[in-house]
Structure 1
Amino acid sequence: ESFFATLKEEMIYRRAWPTRHELEMEVFSFIEGFYNPLRRHSRLGNLSPAAYEHQLTTQTEVSG
């Protein structure tokens, strides 16, 4: 529920969309470019996927 509330507030209600295709492309960009990489996940120790991957990369470089 909070995902859809955020999506509507941050994107859909802020402007008019001339075509459905344009809106679909913007929703995809929002999900893949902001929401998925930056939101925190409890399974990743409350880190975002980007932060978790950076942490893993840093650990691998130090130990390797």
Structure 2
Amino acid sequence: YASHEYQKRLTTYGMRGSMSHKGNGYDNACIESFHSILKKELVYLETFSTRAEAKKRIFEYIACFYNGKRIHSSIGYVTPNQCERTYRKTA
């Protein structure tokens, strides 16, 4: 987030980055929570033979299971895909 290229892109779009001091998980609480779930539900349970295999399985986990089948309490006990479809119908 601190790279010159990234900061220039933010400026181009009239945006301002939000960063706190190193190690402050509260700035990124949502993604930190996601990473924790990803590790507990996939990464720590499997052994990957190659980096390509790991990338493929992580993609499948996110695209198929996490977004398509795993319900989330924070969005009314529906899947992210269901939540998005509902949002798009009402927007």
TM-score range for the pair, normalised by the shorter chain length: 0.5 to 0.7
| Fraction of identical pairs, as percent | 31
TM-score for both structures, normalised by structure 1 = 0.61
How many Å apart are 1:4 and its aligned residue?
0.5
RMSD across aligned positions (CA):
2.8
Aligned to 2:40: 9
How many Å apart are 1:53 and its aligned residue?
4.3
Query: Which consecutive residues of structure 2, in runs of 5 or more, have no partner in the other structure?
Result: 1-31, 87-91
Aligned to 1:40: 72
Quick one: higher RCO (CA 8 Å, sep 6+), 1 or 2? 1
Structure 1 outlier segments of 4+, above 4 Å: 51-54
Q: 1 or 2, which has the higher helix percentage?
A: 1
CA distance in 1 between partners of 2:65 and 2:37 (Å): 12
Output aligned runs, 1:43-54, within 5 Å. Answer: 46=76, 47-48=78-79, 49-50=81-82, 53=85
TM-score for both structures, normalised by structure 2 = 0.45
Say if 1:52 and 1:15 are closer, same or farther in 2 by CA, change over 3 A. closer
